[in-house]
Amino acid sequence: MKIKNLFKRLIRPDSDQSDMLLWAASISPSADEQKRIVADYRALFETKGLTTEEYYEFEFEKQDEEFRRTFLGLNEQRFYLDYLNPKKYYSLARNKYLAHKMLEGTGVRKSELYCYYQPEGRFATNDEKASNLGEVLRILKHKDVQSCVIKPTESSHGDNVWVIRTIDYQEDDAVMTRFDGEKISLSSVLGQDALIFESVVYQTKQFAAFNESSVNTVRFMTLLYPDGEVKIIAVFFKVGRQGECVDNAGSGGNVDGTVDIETGELYNVIQFDGWRKIKEIECHPDSGCRLNGVVIENWESIKEEVKKFQQAFPYCKAAGWDIAITDDGPVVIEVNDFWDRTGQYFIRRGWRDEIRDCYFAWKRTGKQFMMSRDRNMLKRSHLERIVANG
């Protein structure tokens, strides 16, 4: 049986022992170690609601006690974020067009929105909205757009992002040249999915040197408290590989590391080629640019601006901001209301304590805005025991 199929089944500790041992065999060839791993996982499921995927991916069998204690897994994270980032605001962060509109006029620096393509919106077109090829062409031509980034409104991890370097307009179509030199027609890009066309973000020379083909970003994890205070609880960076236009950290194939919150220094740099395919490095494997020990320029002002970004977006009280560093300052690439747990591997610790503290701070105000977006894997009584365990 493939391990991937086991992962789908083994979300509870009462699974068949032979299946559990087969899963543990993917971690260690030793029979004694397999038994220890199964027992360890079952204990972590009980105390933290840990999934088998999380145990495997984050290499829990060799993590220290501090990481194991502070790690925030999917089940407990969902409990906190369903309250801090209510479902009624879900689309404001997840839908890239709505996020653009919500951030307009707030002082949050972002790319310029050129066009919103929504094939079902043929009755609501204007100088920004389009529902067919002709209307997209009209808007882009009118705004004299010569380069852009095209993104699905509902996507993550940089999936299906098109960086367009040049556009050759024709009477009833356009030929676009991608960042890698491939030419594609505008008509071939437009389909049944909603898209946004936005301006290209140009990063600083420092960040471009890391890897020129991708916009390399810094992920800020921020919390908004009832008194308006914003805390930055973790920062890590993501750098793409040569020839790639995105810096995706979700499934690997890039370079990542920790950013010291106080100083802006990069450290714990790794080459992330997928789970359990990770190695420590000093320099980017393609560009050769040194990363470990580098200090991000203008760090203090960047931090202060990101805090203001969080204050301007109170709908999500716990947010993961993907920030590009430009000559004009930090620019929001994406704001995440429900993020993956990967960053905890990069910073070598969990963020459970901080998320939990913010959750209880808001609960003490008496506000009741919890709306569950998904059915949790755990029974309510089990989850409440985990949350109550400080």
- Half-sphere exposure in the Cβ direction for 207 (13 Å, CA): 24
pLDDT at 10: 47
**Residue 248: its pLDDT value, please?**
65
Task: Answer yes or no: is pLDDT of 31 > 80.
Answer: yes
What's the whole-number mean pLDDT along residues 169-185? 94
**What is the per-residue pLDDT for 48?**
95
Rounded CA gap, 294 and 288, in Å? 13
Percent residues over pLDDT 90 in the chain = 74
| 154-163, 187-196, 255-264, 338-347, range with the lowest pLDDT | 154-163
Kindly report the average pLDDT of the chain as a whole number: 90
Q: Among 74, 276, 240, which residue's Cα sits nearest to residue 158?
A: 240
Is 372's pLDDT higher than 70?
A: no
Report pLDDT digits (tens) over 86-103: 888 888 888 999 999 999
Checking if the pLDDT of 287 tops 50, the result is yes
- Structural domain 203-363, CATH architecture: 2-Layer Sandwich (3.30)
Residues 6+ positions from 99 with CB-CB distance below 8 Å: 92, 93, 334, 335
Strand arrangement of the beta sheet that strand 113-117 belongs to: 129-130, 113-117, 195-198, 148-152, 162-169, 174-178, 183-185
Q: What are the domain boundaries of the chain?
A: 1-62, 113-198, 203-363
In the block, residue with structure tokens 């032979």: 18
pLDDT (mean) for 349-363 = 97
Q: What is the pLDDT of residue 358?
A: 97
Model pLDDT, residue 159 = 60
Q: What is the pTM of this model?
A: 0.91
The pLDDT of residue 375: 66
Q: Please state, in angstroms and as integers, the Cα–Cα distance from residue 96 to each residue in 82, 84, 104, 255, 259, following that order.
A: 20, 20, 12, 25, 26
Whether residue 21 has pLDDT greater than 60: yes
Please determine, for residue 8, whether its predicted confidence score (pLDDT) is greater than 50: no
Q: What is the mean pLDDT of residues 247-261?
A: 81
Question: Residue 251's pLDDT is what?
Answer: 55
pLDDT value for 252: 64
pLDDT at 305: 97
Determine the average pLDDT of the residues in 169-195: 95
What does the pLDDT average to over 380-385? Answer: 90
pLDDT at 245: 78
Q: Note the residue count of the chain.
A: 390
Which of the four pLDDT bands, split at 50, 70 and 90, describes residue 158? low
- Residue 298, C-beta contacts closer than 8 angstroms, at least 6 positions apart: 329
